[in-house]
């Protein structure tokens, strides 16, 4: 817990037991402390008397969570590379050929036929290159 003798420093990482989150101290707003999630985001109000310095584990966890959110946000901003053979291709909505090939792939997965699954992925990629390139 923080006390009146411990001033809160902007940028300090504090644990808020009311929300079970670690936040970066921003400033005071009336009787409340304003905290922002590690890595950015919407601030929230917290009772300064209940805050305590975040432990090393809590700091690390909050940092990893922020890095993961940043990575997911970057992944969602750009469409996946259709040439990335590390992930299965997604069928184009409304395309019957794509839907048929995706269905073939799903059937192969259901019976654990990895060869047929790979074949369906290859055919789906070929179809998308020929029919859906802008």
Per residue in 59-85, pLDDT tens? 999 999 888 888 877 666 565 565 666
- Please give the average per-residue pLDDT across 95-105, as a whole number: 93
Cβ neighbors of 33 (< 8 A, separation 6 or more) are 8, 14, 25, 27, 45, 46, 47, 48, 51
Cβ neighbors of 60 (< 8 A, separation 6 or more) are none
pLDDT tops 80 at residue 43: yes
Q: Do residues 68 and 85 both lie within one domain?
A: no
Sign of torsion over alpha carbons 123, 124, 125, 127: positive
pLDDT of residue 100: 94
Percent of residues in the chain assigned helix, strand, coil, to nearest 5: 45, 20, 40
pLDDT of residue 25: 95
DSSP SS3 for 60 = helix
pLDDT of residue 119: 92
Q: Do residues 60 and 102 both lie within one domain?
A: no
pLDDT tops 90 at residue 51: yes
Which tokens hold the place of 23? Answer: 């936040």
Domain count, the chain: 2
pLDDT tops 60 at residue 4: no
Q: Do residues 38 and 58 both lie within one domain?
A: yes
| Domain that includes residue 123, residue range | 81-134
pTM given for the model: 0.52
């Amino acid at each position: 817990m923080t006390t009146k003798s411990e001033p809160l420093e902007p940028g300090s990482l504090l644990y808020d037991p009311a929300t079970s989150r670690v936040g970066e101290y921003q400033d005071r707003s009336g009787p409340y402390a304003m905290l922002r999630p590690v890595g950015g985001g919407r601030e929230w109000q917290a009772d300064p008397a209940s805050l305590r310095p975040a432990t090393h584990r809590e700091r690390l966890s909050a940092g990893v969570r922020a890095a993961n959110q940043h990575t997911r946000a970057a992944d969602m901003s750009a469409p996946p590379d259709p040439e990335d053979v590390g992930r299965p291709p997604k069928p184009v909505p409304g395309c019957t050929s794509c839907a048929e090939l995706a269905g073939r792939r799903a059937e192969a997965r259901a019976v654990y036929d990895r060869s047929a699954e790979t074949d369906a992925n290859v055919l789906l990629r070929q179809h998308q290159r020929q029919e859906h390139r802008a």
